[in-house]
Structure 1
């Protein structure tokens, strides 16, 4: 878990009014050349004008609080304000603009960003709310910064909700970070996984990066999800098992726990997958016979060789050695 409040510097993505005229690259605010100095000067000048309440030409209202600003600065930083002030809407000429669904604290931070290019003091009490506001008012750099901060706070207790949040607000980098975290820590999520919708669970099961010590754990994950609501989910078991790599489940487990599972025994599509695994383990089926099929390659986390069948040769050798020992005594 990161620190409770971290200062976050956002590369000024559309802050300076003079940017397009200067044709500056995205990181010019940190450069030491003439263009970087001009941009810093523009920031400082605009910030000073706002602090002095000089040349303000619009008042933005949210939650009963009023914020004086300059249309040009807001339009440079935000697609929302650019459309508002540059179009034919009445707000383009209005002296007061009222925003709905935006918290005053979040608006204050967004306006500070518009004038300084910085977002400071992100913490668990503000980051998600600020991201929502940045999404609504189209401050992409702030949205990206909040997403990056939230990605550093991922833990088993919040990863699933964070992926939901990221997908709801179109934050692909945060969604991908949460997805990878879940794959790495799937064994720590426990009963949380039982509430997942089918597509989300399938996205984890089909991923090579699912971190399970043995493929049996992937089967158990699928089965626990079905058992959480058997009436509704039992018909979905074939879809789940299609992404469990049964050929790499140990033989004794395949017999005792997969074949012995009543839901599998009553399901012809599941039985076909079970037979495929048996054929593979008995060397009656080569993994290339199924084309580019993920079921026919082990997950990296299991440490098995990619052909898979060496595992079962070792198991067979152990069985023969054990029988020889018993018969010899």
Structure 2
């Protein structure tokens, strides 16, 4: 007979653990921090070479009934003994380092390995420098590299943490030598080095020459170079810099379009498009979420808030329902994107669950507005990872709305009316309403003004729509393009290299019905470029690579376009099977399709001049950062 009892090993462990808890048949007591742990020598020796050597050697401990264990905390020993007797490893996050140290001392490899993996998976801005110093002390090369790489991905935030100032000179040098630092300029690297020195000038000023060897002279601004010289102990010092001319990873990012579609079915990733090369990439998204909100900062940091659990997609979310669909469905989750890892890292949750809230960046803070039952608002401080409440919206917002920032204010636009929040005064004020109340507004800021369009249409809606502009200087809305209007199924405003564009989409199926999956469906994407000097919209016959080859770009669902400087190398591949090129219509076909709609509002002026992207002068690129410097954010969704 050859039979195996599959549960025998578990039964034996369970019985041994019971004996330990009752202190039956135990033959040794471990004394740790004043606490006694009755144990069985055979169990300890079976999972720990440290104890096996102790109990089988000629040392005195081999025969002692009570053994004192040094350099191990009571909690860590309890955790390791629980693992030895059950095979399960459980510990609180703040005890992981202590458990890992104990596991290394006692040579319990599985526990040490899993503790290191946990620390790698839970690195954040606030603990990464501490973990780096700890890993360096233990000589754990894998954890050292993981910690350094994480710090590289968030250098500008990590340098503000007190633990960064505790790094040793060799660790700091190793960091500053990395090519994958996510910084906008070499000046940020210089600032990190100087902050470390300034924290203890008397002791650390002598290390400036050593740190300069990690700084890339050709990439440092003249102003920062003067600052470095001023920190020298001797005016005659001849500082030697790195001769590397390689830009850090954060300095070679590419401006891309991130397309986010409302209620997109597969939200594990979203398309990210590089107009300069025509390449499509995939930006990973948090799983199981729909109807979330995203914003981008002038530093190209991406934040994502709220949303609805994908498992509850079949449930209709309404803002006027009992808040008792919502506690289980709408999320308080809040994430920050890591460009180096193409992942979203959890941050402090919002105080209220929100769906499609107005998420904007303004002068160092992230604001989440509305999207909950009570139309509350709150502000996030990235330096503290903390949310605080701000005054709620003056009136409920049952319809779709959008929020943008300009100067020191947040502007909320909706069908029921528009409001402005002053961040300096922390008050809401009524502002002028749009000329035509929008059902689904989408807006961007450009050259000190707000541009807004009612971007989504019912499939039988044949009305023409204008892009409206709001100038805070005179406090009124006006139609742009001398009243030029557009017919479309959906539209998207987008900025690229300092220029404002409008995408308009026509979708046609049999008998004029829209159906995304009909074989006979055709989608026509038109691109219009705004020329502020003449207040006109130029229709581009040569769209260049501005239009991505996305099949669902022509669907009836609203699409928003967020602009951010990304790193193509670390993005995923957008599968060719997921999307096909949009079927473009000829000029004759497009003109014919326009005639299938009635013009109930009267046509505006048109501009059919031929144009292509090659005549866009370099002044657009020179002004690309103009809005971000004034505190505005064109990436709000």
The TM tier, using the shorter chain, reads 0.5 to 0.7
Distance in 1, matches of 2:236 and 2:213, equals 13
Distance in 1, matches of 2:199 and 2:147, equals 24
Query: Do the aligned partners of residues 191 and 81 (structure 1) sit closer, same or farther apart at CA in structure 2, a change above 3 Å counting?
Result: closer
Q: What does residue 213 of structure 1 align with?
A: 184
Q: What does residue 230 of structure 2 align with?
A: 262
Aligned length: 248
Contact 1:127 1:146 survives alignment (8 Å): yes
Q: What does residue 137 of structure 2 align with?
A: 168
Query: Do the aligned partners of residues 227 and 267 (structure 1) sit closer, same or farther apart at CA in structure 2, a change above 3 Å counting?
Result: farther
Contact 1:156 1:182 survives alignment (8 Å): yes
Return structure 1 stretches of 4+ with deviation > 6 angstroms.
none
- What is the CA distance between 1:199 and its match in structure 2? 1.5
Comparing both structures, which one devotes a greater share of its residues to helix? 1
Q: Which has the larger radius of gyration?
A: 2
Distance in 2, matches of 1:304 and 1:143, equals 37
Contact 1:50 1:56 survives alignment (8 Å): no
Contact 1:206 1:294 survives alignment (8 Å): no
Contact 1:57 1:70 survives alignment (8 Å): yes
- What is the CA distance between 1:220 and its match in structure 2? 2.3
Distance in 2, matches of 1:104 and 1:175, equals 27
Distance in 2, matches of 1:210 and 1:162, equals 18
Q: What does residue 47 of structure 1 align with?
A: 14
Q: What does residue 105 of structure 1 align with?
A: 75
SS at match of 1:88: coil
Distance in 2, matches of 1:110 and 1:91, equals 20
Distance in 1, matches of 2:100 and 2:42, equals 23
Mapping of 1:193-204 within 5 angstroms?
193-204=164-175
Q: What does residue 94 of structure 1 align with?
A: 64
Give the aligned CA root-mean-square deviation in angstroms: 3.3
Q: Does 1:223 pair with 2:212?
A: no
- What is the CA distance between 1:85 and its match in structure 2? 0.5
Counterpart pick for 1:301 among 250, 256, 260 = 250
- What is the CA distance between 1:81 and its match in structure 2? 0.3
Distance in 1, matches of 2:32 and 2:201, equals 48
- What is the CA distance between 1:126 and its match in structure 2? 2.6
Distance in 2, matches of 1:215 and 1:159, equals 22
Residues 135-178 of structure 1, C-alpha deviations (whole Å, 9 max, x = no match): 33222221222222233332222221221222223433333222
Contact 2:190 2:224 survives alignment (8 Å): no
Mapping of 1:54-93 within 5 angstroms?
55-93=25-63
Q: What TM-score do the two structures reach when normalised by structure 2?
A: 0.35
Query: Do the aligned partners of residues 104 and 47 (structure 1) sit closer, same or farther apart at CA in structure 2, a change above 3 Å counting?
Result: farther
Contact 1:242 1:295 survives alignment (8 Å): no
- What is the CA distance between 1:191 and its match in structure 2? 5.8
Contact 1:128 1:146 survives alignment (8 Å): yes
Residues 16-53 of structure 1, C-alpha deviations (whole Å, 9 max, x = no match): xxxxxxxxxxxxxxxxxx99x77x63353143134146
Contact 1:151 1:177 survives alignment (8 Å): yes
Comparing both structures, which one devotes a greater share of its residues to strand? 2
Query: Do the aligned partners of residues 194 and 103 (structure 1) sit closer, same or farther apart at CA in structure 2, a change above 3 Å counting?
Result: closer
Mapping of 1:273-288 within 5 angstroms?
273=241
Contact 1:183 1:204 survives alignment (8 Å): yes
Counterpart pick for 1:248 among 210, 216, 219 = 219
Distance in 2, matches of 1:216 and 1:100, equals 47
SS at match of 2:215: coil
Distance in 1, matches of 2:105 and 2:147, equals 22
Q: Does 1:126 pair with 2:104?
A: no
Contact 1:91 1:97 survives alignment (8 Å): yes
Residues 274-329 of structure 1, C-alpha deviations (whole Å, 9 max, x = no match): xxxxxxxxxxxxxxxxxxx7613222221189xxxxxxxxxxxx9xxx9xxxxxxx
Query: Do the aligned partners of residues 119 and 95 (structure 1) sit closer, same or farther apart at CA in structure 2, a change above 3 Å counting?
Result: same
Contact 2:51 2:106 survives alignment (8 Å): yes
Structure 1, unmatched stretches of 5+, are: 1-33, 274-292, 306-317, 323-329
Residues 185-228 of structure 1, C-alpha deviations (whole Å, 9 max, x = no match): 11012263444332222111111122211112112222333344
Q: What does residue 145 of structure 1 align with?
A: 114
Distance in 2, matches of 1:213 and 1:221, equals 13
Distance in 1, matches of 2:246 and 2:199, equals 29
- What is the CA distance between 1:92 and its match in structure 2? 1.6
Query: Do the aligned partners of residues 72 and 223 (structure 1) sit closer, same or farther apart at CA in structure 2, a change above 3 Å counting?
Result: same
Query: Do the aligned partners of residues 304 and 152 (structure 1) sit closer, same or farther apart at CA in structure 2, a change above 3 Å counting?
Result: closer
